[in-house]
A and B are shown apart, each in its own frame.
Chain A
Amino acid sequence: MIKTEKLTKVYKSGATEIRAIDNIDLQVRKGEFLAITGKSGSGKSTLLYQLGMLDIPNHGTIHINDVDVLKLSDETRTKFRLKELGYVFQDYAILPSLSALENVMLPLLMQGESKSEAIRKATKALDRVGLGDRINNLPSQLSGGQQQRVSIARAIGHEPSIIFADEPTANLDSETSKAVLEAFLELHHEGQTIVMVTHEKDYAVLGDRIIELKDGKIIADNKPHHL
């Protein structure tokens, strides 16, 4: 499903070069729940951005569903992201001028769905994350946990191949974090491929595979029961 070879991202700060990720070879199988962990600055978010096509690496290749995504044009990359990928960001990243329903509808409309079909699918996605009764609320009328669930509903509404989640529980209390992670687990049990960045080992073990990064390199790649 995802395959990278010698994936490298270098940031330049004046004369200094920082290798945020360094020659990473990685494969993620269909239906896998991969947790990426590591300390702050280890490169885990950078890796997620490259895998999720939000950034372009300096070296290496990325294949998603057998497509060499780095060779795609800008427009095609955008369409590929729209169709194949879903994102859940640390700070929810939902649009403040759109209601919960409209936030989830947006990618569906962009895929060419009719308005009625977009409403139907968005409502279903919001129901799945337990927000069926808040669909017309604006983000400002929702709690942090509810906003993150809107973000998850938006990520799954158009049924993508892979969901990328960047520290989805970082801004939530433990109770709400559990609810969000349960939503991920439920999706995973239904066969959804998930790549999640977290610095919380307790949450990482919920995945069925964990990789740990240090200085941009994978230093461990384990099943949770080995931890």
Chain B
Amino acid sequence: MNDASPFLDLDPGGPRVSVRFDGTDHALPEGANLAAALLAAGVRVFRATPVSGAPRAPFCMMGACYDCLVLIDGVTRQACMTRVTDGLVVERAPGRDLHDG
């Protein structure tokens, strides 16, 4: 999670709020698209698939592929359809144990 982000942020200014993802705290732009903000923060793997435990991350960014599923307040949600708010606690969506295959 501490890797330099593979993404360039054109507008890094603006207010940031604290979001916890999978146990790690991130300062993300308030009101941003959660999937985009986590990608920009260097998060590369969002979940493991229920079938094989393969790692997945956002693929379509338009609410169609469901690869960015996360767990918020016990509800499975699409990170790309969720806004960043202060104090958001995001967990990995239920799946098999992550493998590196």
Chains A and B bind each other = no
Measured CB to CB, the residues of B under 8 A from A are none
Measured CB to CB, the residues of A under 8 A from B are none
